[in-house]
Amino acid sequence: MFMAEMRRLAALAAFLLATAMAQAGIAQAGAAEPRSPRECADCPELVVIPAGTFLMGSPAGEEGRFDSEGPLHRVAVAAFALGKTEVTVEEYLVFLRQTGYQPAPCNHLLGLAWRSPRYGLAYPPGFVESPQQPAVCLSWDDAQAYIAWLNAKVGAPHSGPYRLPSEAEWEYAARAGTSTARWWGAAIGGANANCNGCGSRWDNSQFAPAGSFGPNPFGLYDMLGNVWQWTEDCWNPSYRGAPADGTAWTSGDCARRVLRGGSWSNLPKFIRAAARSSGGAPGQDVDYSGDAGFRVARSIR
């Protein structure tokens, strides 16, 4: 117990040092701009999200609103860190090569699947065009397997600091201090995201490489559009009884988990900070499984 706690504290100290360096603008020699904290060689790049409060959900008059987005309620969120982008194909392949973990097919009918034959080999699904695309065709369970590997990397295999964001944390980070339907405004505009009607060159045809669009005010890329993103929460059809402290809602239909952000094939009404959906945790839903990925959160308390 003592050694486990020492490893946890050492990992936290290393992360907080990296955070302080990033916030102070200390960059590596030759870097064009300060880098976000990266705790280990295989850890994703993170952005520190400040603590704050916000109104979660959407007002009754918001265009494209679904009933599941209410009632509006105020949530207090503690400071945490979140992946600068979604986990990429390249990052997920490192995990597969080192562990031999085998994700289940995301579409048995079409044979869409990652292949991990061990011996340091791993291959993405056949539709992947770039290692910089977000890793998709992944279930909630597949995201948790990657996170467990990260926590082992930083010496905290049990109850480690890495996790999926809660649904409240995700929306707070997606809004980044704004209250409009999207961080850039109420209208979908042009070339702000990748969806079926977003005005990008990838619209309704393929995944864009991670980080293809400008960051929101918190410095996060691709929070809306491109791929659905898993959160920690169990599915509930409304916010009645939802936590007000920013933590994950761990009761309700836990065979289904909340997905956020919308994807390249969705209409603009899904590309809103408040829009929410769900998918089966093991990845049974063909409608979402091929378009679902995730970004990593990290506790800093």
Q: How many helices (H) and strands (E) does the chain have?
A: 5, 12
Give alpha helix (H) positions in the chain. 2-23, 89-99, 140-153, 167-175, 286-289
Write the DSSP symbol of residue 267: -
Domain spans, the chain? 41-87+155-299
- In this structure, what are the phi and psi dihedrals at residue 52, rounded to the nearest 5 degrees? 175, 180
CATH number corresponding to 41-87+155-299: 3.90.1580.10
- Answer yes or no: is pLDDT of 22 > 70: no
Its pTM stands at: 0.90
pLDDT tens track for 172-185: 999 999 999 999 99
Please tell me the distance from the alpha carbon of residue 132 to that of residue 127, in angstroms, as a whole number.
Answer: 13
Q: What's the confidence (pLDDT) of residue 1? A: 46
Other residues' Cβ atoms within 10 Å of the Cβ of residue 119: 8
pLDDT tens track for 221-276: 999 999 999 999 999 999 999 999 999 999 999 999 999 999 999 999 999 999 99
- The C-alpha R_g of the chain, in whole angstroms, comes to 18
- Tell me the three state secondary structure of residue 281: coil
DSSP-assigned letters across all residues of 130-179: -TTSBP-S--HHHHHHHHHHHHHHTT--SS-SEEPPPHHHHHHHHHTT--
Nearest to 189 by CA among 291, 271, 274: 271
Cβ–Cβ under 8 Å, residues 217 and 184: no
Nearest to 79 by CA among 10, 6, 161, 145: 161
Please tell me the distance from the alpha carbon of residue 242 to that of residue 239, in angstroms, as a whole number.
Answer: 5
- Tell me the three state secondary structure of residue 86: coil
- Which residue is associated with the tokens 């490893």? 7
Cα 188 to the chain's mean position, in Å?
A: 21
Please tell me the distance from the alpha carbon of residue 46 to that of residue 29, in angstroms, as a whole number.
Answer: 20
Nearest to 224 by CA among 134, 153, 131, 151: 134
- pLDDT level of residue 32 (50, 70, 90 thresholds): very low
pLDDT tens track for 75-121: 999 999 999 999 999 999 999 999 999 999 998 888 899 999 999 99
pLDDT tens track for 176-214: 999 999 999 999 999 999 999 999 999 999 999 999 999
Q: What's the confidence (pLDDT) of residue 28? A: 39
Please tell me the distance from the alpha carbon of residue 59 to that of residue 279, in angstroms, as a whole number.
Answer: 24
- Tell me the three state secondary structure of residue 42: coil
287 class by beta-carbon count within 10 Å (0-12 exposed, 13-18 middle, 19+ buried)? exposed
